[in-house]
Amino acid sequence: SQSLHMLAVDFGASSGRAVTGAFNGRTLTVNEVHRFSNEPVRLGDHFHWDFLRLFHELKQGIHASRRMAGGAPVSVAVDTWGVDYGLVDAKGRLAGNPYHYRDLRTEQVMPEVFSAIPEKELFRMTGIRSSSINTIYQLYAEEKVRSGYGADGLKMLMMPDLFHYYLSGVMANEYTIASTSGLLDPRSRTWHSGILNTLSIPESLFSEIVMPGTMLGQLRQDIREELQVPDMAVIAAAGHDTAAAVASVPAGAAPYAFISSGTWSLMGIELDQPALSDYSRDSLFSNEGGAGGKIRLLKNIMGLWLLQECRRTWALEGTPLTYDELTELALSAPENGSYIDAADAVFLPPGGMPQRIREYCRDSGQKVPESRAAIVRCIVESLALQYRQTLDEIEKLAGERMEHIHIVGGGIQNRLLCQLTANVTGRPVIAGPVEATAIGNLMMQALAHGEVKDLAEIRQVVLESFPPETYLPEDAAMWEERYQQYVKLFKRQETV
């Protein structure tokens, strides 16, 4: 066939998948050839990703892709969740197992970092909201890195770069994933040497930044032989999953806000220049690097992590429930009226989520959601209300009204959340595609192959290939009233 054949491997925080894509110049056809869960491991006092397992799953995906109808893929690209990394020594060995961003070792070092560079200053320098998950605090917590002891020849590779290195032997730091580190200057799009020097993080850890859509190299010969696959190019597409998802939002010309909905809800807009005002910082936005030279101004909202964790706790207690059953529960629950602030970092660590939600409601003077049904409803309504608050802030920052909200990712399978988002924001919600991240990864590969020319063309292809679904707002007056109660509970600064 004349189509371009590619493979995307997308590692989310809760699951991963290998998806083949055939692009015929106008539309993209995708096929999931491998899916796996991503289960972090607590080892001693720390929380890690199981990198070897994940690399094995990546190989399984590559192997499975060779049977793609019409011929094996000519290229592969990996994207992952943000902020995490591995350290590789001068001999190419992985120095220790990568930490999970929810590991708490960073919390103690944040005050130390702020005494060297005040938090407000750090935001002006990087455009990134301070959060204990950020690479900057993780690297600062690595004593051997800071003391320089044993750091000779070490390289820091963010997760997609790490996978690409072990696939191809080529080391690079790709821009979109590097932008999640909290160590880039968002204007020059390079490592911020002032910050590195002040924090004694050696510049030698970092490689030159490559832009999304860069050909890195070829699949190593031993891997090709092991997996019995033909030659494949390894491409730095958009290494950050959220950047890949945003690249594939099937948007037209009207102003819109996006929500990439999965473990996290990432809500924001695209800009040409970073928004570094105090208002932007106080409203908890980050300026991350996007495809096509864009800045993704977005907020990390706890997202469906809240539900994932309740589900995990209830399964441990002997009540395993599917996501559909959880939604049924929420639909059966009476009007709730108790809310949490779903952007609050207290919900970051794993464990005991139902109880933490109850305590949060109690401590903010609200009725305590006792039943499972009440908790699920509290989560879903609180997410929708948080989206509304974030939309208000986005419109202040952008100085214009957003006509629609595009939601992409696994979270759109929660139809109740899509409908409530439309109701609470009063805007049509355009939902899809579910696999936006893998699709964005594939289309950024097509860009690297020269088969599409820019973001606008990518979005047109996605719109034609994966028609989205629209949810229209309902019960506007009731939700406006609830929103007014909600903002009184969780107030933030109001002036731009």
Contact criterion met (CB below 8 Å) for 127 and 286: yes
Among the residue ranges 261-269, 354-362, 441-449, 487-495, the one whose residues contact ligand LRH (CB under 6 A): 261-269
Cα–Cα distances (Å) from 356 to 212, 352, 378, 397, in that order, read 39, 6, 12, 32
Residue 83 binding target from ligand LRH, ligand ADP, none, CB below 5 to 8 Å by type = ligand LRH
263 binds ligand LRH (CB under 6 A): yes
Contact criterion met (CB below 8 Å) for 288 and 296: yes
Q: Residues 173-202 vs ligand LRH: string with x where CB under 6 A?
A: -------x----------------------
Residue 133 binding target from ligand LRH, ligand ADP, none, CB below 5 to 8 Å by type = ligand LRH
Among the residue ranges 100-108, 134-142, 180-188, 406-414, the one whose residues contact ligand ADP (CB under 6 A): 406-414
Contact criterion met (CB below 8 Å) for 249 and 406: yes
242 binds ligand LRH (CB under 6 A): yes
| Among positions 132, 181, 300, 327, the unique one binding ligand LRH when judged by CB under 6 A | 300
Contact criterion met (CB below 8 Å) for 82 and 177: yes
Contact criterion met (CB below 8 Å) for 295 and 270: yes
- List, in order, residues 6 or more apart from 45 with CB less than 8 Å away: none
Angstrom distance (rounded) from CA 372 to CA 305:
16
Q: Which amino acid is at 279?
A: Y
- List, in order, residues 6 or more apart from 493 with CB less than 8 Å away: 278, 279, 282, 283
Q: Is the dihedral of CA 411, 330, 471, 401 positive or negative?
A: negative
Smallest separation (angstroms) from ligand LRH to the CB of 162: 15
| Among positions 13, 110, 223, 330, the unique one binding ligand LRH when judged by CB under 6 A | 13
Q: Residue count at the site for ligand ADP (CB under 6 A)?
A: 16
Contact criterion met (CB below 8 Å) for 271 and 110: no
What 3-state class would DSSP assign to 312? helix
| Among positions 127, 250, 369, 410, the unique one binding ligand ADP when judged by CB under 6 A | 410
Q: Which of 271, 253, 248 is nearest to 459 (CA)?
A: 248
93-152 residues near ligand LRH, rule: CB under 6 A: 101, 133
| Among positions 266, 301, 448, 455, the unique one binding ligand LRH when judged by CB under 6 A | 266
What six digits make up the tokens of 343? 């952007």
Q: Which CB atom, from 12 or from 292, has the smaller least distance to ligand ADP? A: 12
Angstrom distance (rounded) from CA 358 to CA 476:
28
Q: What are the DSSP E strand ranges found in 293-372?
A: 295-301
Strands 41-43 and 173-174: unpaired
Smallest separation (angstroms) from ligand ADP to the CB of 451: 26
| Among positions 263, 283, 286, 389, the unique one binding ligand ADP when judged by CB under 6 A | 263
411 binds ligand ADP (CB under 6 A): yes
Q: Which CB atom, from 162 or from 375, has the smaller least distance to ligand LRH? A: 162
440 binds ligand ADP (CB under 6 A): no
Q: Residues 219-238 vs ligand LRH: string with x where CB under 6 A?
A: --------------------
Smallest separation (angstroms) from ligand ADP to the CB of 298: 15
Residue 15 binding target from ligand ADP, ligand LRH, none, CB below 5 to 8 Å by type = ligand ADP
Q: Residues 274-313 vs ligand ADP: string with x where CB under 6 A?
A: ------------------------------x--xx-----
313-352 residues near ligand LRH, rule: CB under 6 A: none
For residue 335, what is the DSSP state? P
DSSP-assigned states of every residue in 96-137: SPPBPTT-GGGTTHHHHHHHHS-HHHHHHHH-----TTSHHH
Q: Which of 60, 57, 62, 58 is nearest to 75 (CA)?
A: 62
HSE (side-chain half, CA atoms, 13 Å) at 272:
0
Smallest separation (angstroms) from ligand LRH to the CB of 44: 23
Which residues carry out catalysis?
241
Q: Which of 188, 217, 287 is nearest to 76 (CA)?
A: 217
Smallest separation (angstroms) from ligand LRH to the CB of 82: 3
HSE (side-chain half, CA atoms, 13 Å) at 356:
18
Among the residue ranges 23-31, 63-71, 81-89, 208-216, the one whose residues contact ligand LRH (CB under 6 A): 81-89
241 binds ligand LRH (CB under 6 A): yes
152-171 residues near ligand LRH, rule: CB under 6 A: none
Residue 409 binding target from ligand LRH, ligand ADP, none, CB below 5 to 8 Å by type = ligand ADP
DSSP-assigned states of every residue in 211-245: -SSEEEEE--HHHHHHHT----EEEE---BHHHHH
**What residues make contact with ligand LRH under the rule CB under 6 A?**
12-13, 81-83, 101, 133, 180, 240-242, 262-264, 266, 300
- Interface residues with ligand ADP (CB under 6 A) are 12-15, 262-263, 304, 307-308, 323-324, 409-411, 413-414
